[in-house]
Copies of this chain bind each other. A is one copy, B any other.
Amino acid sequence: MNDTILLAHGSGGKLSHDLVERKFLPLLANPLLDKLDDSAIFEANGRLAFTTDSYVVNPIFFPGGDIGRLAVCGTVNDLSMNGAKPLYLSLSVIIEEGLLIADLERIVRSIKAAADEAQVNIITGDTKIVNQGQADKLFITTSGIGIIPAGIDISGANAKAGDRVILSGTIGDHGIAIMSQREGLRFETFLESDCAPLNKLVAQIVEACPNTHCLRDPTRGGLATTLNEFAKQSNVGIVVEEDKIPVKKEVKAACELLGFDPIYVANEGKLVAIVESGDTNKVLAQMKKNCYGRDAAIIGEVTNDHTGRVIMKTKLGPSRIIDMLSGELLPRIC
């Protein structure tokens, strides 16, 4: 086999079969995938969650992860944010002719490791090849199916006045890690993307508090956009306190240098939970037990005032309205 991807690997014929059989199947093997029919078949009974995301992150390898880990974690997390237990993923890859097969292998290995960590199987997939210059190395689309335990109803529309807003950890790590890799910035400490599967953290939250109202992972658009989505979907106001929001000092420094506000910078391993005031402490205690939630903090509350809007109380000055991200902060961040 050649050491780079050729157009013929996308033909649907012999080279396509070879690529799938040698580079994907041995690593991702499981009984559902191995059947190689047009669809994978499984049994399910109950309320299912279904989600999809495409990943176009640049560079494809970055501190703390790569496009493969990102694609698995992102879809696992989207399922988890409805309280679903992720079960199965699909994996569709668009590859630019000329990609090193060694790079593809490294990404497939990373996909496998992330899927193992999240305890999900990839059961169906597709590969397309485009000519050089018609894509950038590779793009991955993952879709996922999860099952929602009985009695769980988590939605961005469920926030109620009096609820508390909990953030699972520091913000901006992913965006700044990508940016620093891309621009060759150097920081005092080595900053990594927070890219991680949050399904076990969510299972712990939901076990502690089956009545969790909202969960969402603040990816593109950052914390500010997620809070605005909650405020609009639930028709409530949200007030957060700036000095309660955990930000790593190297992220803070990079943001100052680049003119960014960390509340708009993408995360890939964080979640925002909205729970009733009385549930706050038990949820927070549970989150702190998980390695992906040990820096969790209560950052604000839900109000009946200024519905549809998010207000941030600043440390020194007056409160300010926080809008969604309006322009483009960092293209191809995920």
Contacts and interface: CB of A to CB of B under 8 A. Distances in A.
A43 B38 contact: no
A5 B219 CA distance: 21
Given A11-B325, A12-B325, A324-B14, A39 B44 contact: no
A8 interface: yes
A14 B326 CA distance: 5
A156 B155 CA distance: 40
Interface stretch (A103-111, A126-134, A250-258): A126-134
> What's the dominant secondary structure at chain A's contact region?
mixed
Contacts of A37: 81-82, 155-157
Contact of A48 (B42, B49, B222, B225): B42
Nearest to A214: B37
Contacts of A79: 38-39
A100 B15 CA distance: 35
B146 A39 contact: yes
Contacts of A129: 331
A293 to B, nearest CB: 18
Interface string A123-150: 1111011110111100101011110100
A328 B7 CA distance: 7
Contact of A94 (B6, B48, B54): B54
B10 A52 contact: no
A50 B145 contact: yes
Contact of A326 (B13, B82, B264): B13
Contacts of A274: none
A50 B35 CA distance: 13
Interface stretch (A83-91, A187-195, A277-285, A301-309): A83-91
Interface of A: 6-8, 10-17, 35-56, 58, 77-79, 81-82, 84, 88, 90-94, 123-126, 128-131, 133-136, 139, 141, 143-146, 148, 155-157, 216-217, 219-222, 225, 229, 233, 264, 266, 323-329, 331-332, 334
19 contacts: A10-B328, A10-B332, A12-B325, A13-B221, A13-B329, A14-B323, A14-B326, A15-B326, A16-B221, A35-B157, A41-B47, A41-B148, A43-B48, A45-B46, A50-B90, A52-B91, A53-B126, A54-B128, A135-B136
